[in-house]
Structure 1
């Protein structure tokens, strides 16, 4: 994963991005570098970002058009930070807190999904691994890599699998007051590039929607390929990842839900991540 450039240099850390955003307050080169990395690689890492919502939204507005923070914005107004930032007042969502968070694309279960997904690590928790050596490493997987892996593992059936995923609709679990989205998983742009939408438990939803045995084979093979090519990235406080949400799925390895000191005192994990969704022209 490339990192954003310092002023006029190769890809490297950006120090004090709140004050400078690049070169002496001019962020044009920084924004161009972010977009170039996303176009080429699907995601980019920015280090040493101040861990406050105002700075995050300032950078976000330079990258694109803010989208409400999904269902968490229901009780907020556009003047509230919680309208734009997911997990503003809470730690990781309860369902997956401490457990493996499967690969998915943001907003795949809602009427529209963002083009860019920004994740700012506020607190990585204790950093101590669990019994299996996991400490909440972030996971990323590109649809292009998954399709290449699919062709490598299933050379005789890859085209059949891709055709099924391009044309068979599935409705992901959705927020009750929003309309469902019965759509295929894979999409092909007019230029020939691949994009996709992928939600947690997608295989369960496909079975619920009555997919045939061959269609389920295609989905199972794609899911295996997506996970086979995933990369792990341990994020630290102040690290920001910007993801092309139409090309890259994200997830997270498990982490200890509690830290236990020498006297046996238990302290809940302090792990916390801000999320921002954007529409952008890339």
Structure 2
């Protein structure tokens, strides 16, 4: 197996098991230089990367419950493009859903490239959506703390970086589905009854390591029972509405004048 594929197959999330060992500045620069080489639409690089340094800052700003020496916040950002255009006397129109989705994809591609680069440098990584969770982190607070622009800007994901504490690390990679329900050839295909049964059997088998959240803590007999009843049950509509309002507010300020 070549080194690139070996790095990809070794990717895994580090859930809080980071040491306090500082990351060498050269490695941080290498990761940043790698991720800006990710594919992006029209070579615009319509994203920004906020480097958050120090365990306390990471914990305060990202609020995912974990500490790490460094976090990278990947954001949709057209401000640079607008500012340069204004400086040159040109107009630029990116207040639309198409532009947002394009830039969102650019930011995600840069994020995954950073993950691969960090893994190749023997660093642990954790991508988190906690920045969009109202009861973990209010986006208004993040915008103030990091002086983020009010327009043409939206935080997409945060990436925690650090050296993994091998004494606390899992000794296996989390399971992955690979075929039915994931890969569709030529046209999309709904699962057959047999395929559903096979997926349930695969996911619920402890030997396949799909249970990353601790089924035992939920007093559930299978992982899927834990997932549907404890980890991702139906939410209070009022709670969901408040979270949606927070996200819509920031997205609308990006999309519309």
TM-score in same-fold range (> 0.5): no
Q: TM-score range by the shorter chain?
A: under 0.3
Q: Which has the higher helix share?
A: 2
Q: TM-score, normalised by structure 2?
A: 0.26
Structure having the higher Rg? 2
Greater RCO structure (CA 8 Å; 6+ sep): 1
